[in-house]
Amino acid sequence: MICVLVGQVKVKNVGNCCKSVEKSTENDRNTATVKITIRRPDDWHLHVRDGTVLQTVVAHTAQHFGRAIIMPNLKPAVTDTASALAYRDRILAVLPADSRFEPLMTLYLTDNTRSDEVRKAQASGHIHAVKYYPAGATTNADSGVTDIGNVMPVLETLQEIGMPLLVHGEVTDPAVDVFDREAVFIDRVLAPLAARLPDLRLVLEHVSTRQGVEFVVDSSERVAATLTAHHLLMNRNALFTGGIRPHHYCLPVLKREQHRLALLDAATSGNPKFFLGTDSAPHARSAKENSCGCAGLYTAHAAIELYAEAFEQAGALDRLEGFASCFGADFYGLPRNEDRISLVKTPWQVPADYPLDNDRLVPMRCGETVDWMVE
C-alpha cells in the first residue's frame, strides 16, 4: 500500500518495519530519494579492540547504532565470562554519560571451552553468542578451534540453551584457493554441522559468496547471515585499482562481481535471515601498509551511510530498515530499538584518517565522498 503524506511517500512494509522515504518532488516517483527515516540500527558484528583505541572507534558506532555484537578476538582472546564482562566495562567506560549504546558481548570458542562456561555466560545476561574462528583463519584467530570435532559437546550445549554460534566460515587449508575458502567451508564444515545439530542457531558472518547466500536461504530459520557494507559495495577489483590496495584487504577477501550481486540481492530481498554486521575492523596504518598487511576494513565512521548507498544502488532503500534495524534483533530475541534516525542524501568527504594510538586509522573511502549523511 502506498499512502501519500505531506511531502512524503510511505513505502512497503517489511514485517513490522515501515519507514518513510521523502522524494525531492512530490508525486514524481522517478526523482531521487532525499531523506529516509528508519528505526535506530544495530551492528551485529563489530571489532572495537581495546585500550586507547576504544575511545575513537566506539564513538563512531555509538553515534548512530543502538547496540553492537562485540567480537572477542583480542590478544589474549575473550574466552570466559569474567573477561567478557570486564571488556564490556571498558567499553562502557569510554561512552559519554548520556549514551544509550549497548555492547553485546561474545565468547571466543577454543578447543578447551567448556559447556558450563557458556551456560555461565548466558546467565550473565550480557553475553549473547559464541564466536567460532577456525584456528589461524584471520586476525587473532590463533587460539581458535583446530577441529570442529573437539567442540561438539559445547556446540550441543549451545543448541540446548539457544545461544547463537557466530561462524567465521573459511577453511584454513593452504591447498584451497583463498577465493574458494568460504564455499569449501560450507561443504566440509558448515553443512555437516547444521545437519548434525539442526536446532543450533548459526550466523554465517560476513557472507561473501553466492554459495554462502544459497546455503543460508536453503537452511532452516535457525540459520542466518550478516553482510558487510564493503562486501556489498566492492568486488575484488577494488584490491587492485591502479596498484595494490591494502586498505581493501579483509577476510573473507572480496570476491567476483557475481558474488557481490548475490550479496546485494540477499541484503535487499527482505529475507529476515540477512542482517547488518559491519565487521568494521580497525588496524593501524602501519599494520595495513606493510609487507604482510593485516586483514580488515574500517567502516564504523560511515557504516549506516555506506549501507544506504548500497541499498540505493539496488533501488531498495525501502528495505534498509528491516535489514539494519529489525531482523538482527529478531534473530537474537532482543527488542527492536524504539527511536529513529534519519539519513539525508548529502555527500560529505571522509577524512584522510583518524588518530589511533601513536599511529593513524585509515577509513573506507578516505578522502572521498559518501553519498548519505545521518541528520
Decide if residue 303 touches ligand DOR (CB under 6 A).
Answer: no
Residue nearest to Zn ion (CB): 279
CA-nearest of 49, 85, 81, 45 to 65 is 45
Question: Which does residue 184 bind out of ligand DOR, Zn ion, none, counting CB within 5 to 8 angstroms by kind?
Answer: none
Q: Which is nearer to ligand DOR, 139 or 219 (CB)?
A: 139
Q: Which of 42, 43, 80, 279 is catalytic?
A: 279
Question: Which does residue 299 bind out of Zn ion, ligand DOR, none, counting CB within 5 to 8 angstroms by kind?
Answer: none
SS3 108: strand
Decide if residue 182 touches Zn ion (CB under 5 A).
Answer: no
Type of residue numbered 301: H
Chain position carrying cell 541499498: 311
Report the nearest approach of ligand DOR to the CB of residue 282 (Å).
8
The size of the interface with ligand DOR (CB under 6 A), counted in residues, is 11
Q: Which is nearer to ligand DOR, 225 or 316 (CB)?
A: 225
Chain position carrying cell 527511536: 339
Type of residue numbered 335: P
- Cβ neighbors of 348 (< 8 A, separation 6 or more) are 369, 370, 373
Report the nearest approach of Zn ion to the CB of residue 244 (Å).
22
DSSP state of 243: S
- Region of 344 (left: φ > 0; alpha: ψ -120 to 50; beta: rest) is beta
Annotation marks residue 279 as catalytic = yes
CA-nearest of 159, 158, 67 to 121 is 158
DSSP state of 267: H
Decide if residue 296 touches ligand DOR (CB under 6 A).
Answer: yes
- Secondary element (H or E) of residue 230: helix 229-233
207 to 246, contacts with ligand DOR by CB under 6 A? none
124 to 183, contacts with ligand DOR by CB under 6 A? 138-139, 168
Decide if residue 73 touches ligand DOR (CB under 6 A).
Answer: yes
Chain position carrying cell 536446532: 199
- Exactly one of 295, 344, 373, 374 binds ligand DOR (CB under 6 A); that residue is 295
Decide if residue 281 touches ligand DOR (CB under 6 A).
Answer: yes
For residues 45, 14, 229, 135, the Cα torsion angle rounded to the nearest 10 degrees is 30
Decide if residue 279 touches Zn ion (CB under 5 A).
Answer: yes
> Active-site residues: which are they?
279
Binding residues (CB under 6 A) for ligand DOR: these are 47, 73, 138-139, 168, 250-251, 279, 281, 295-296
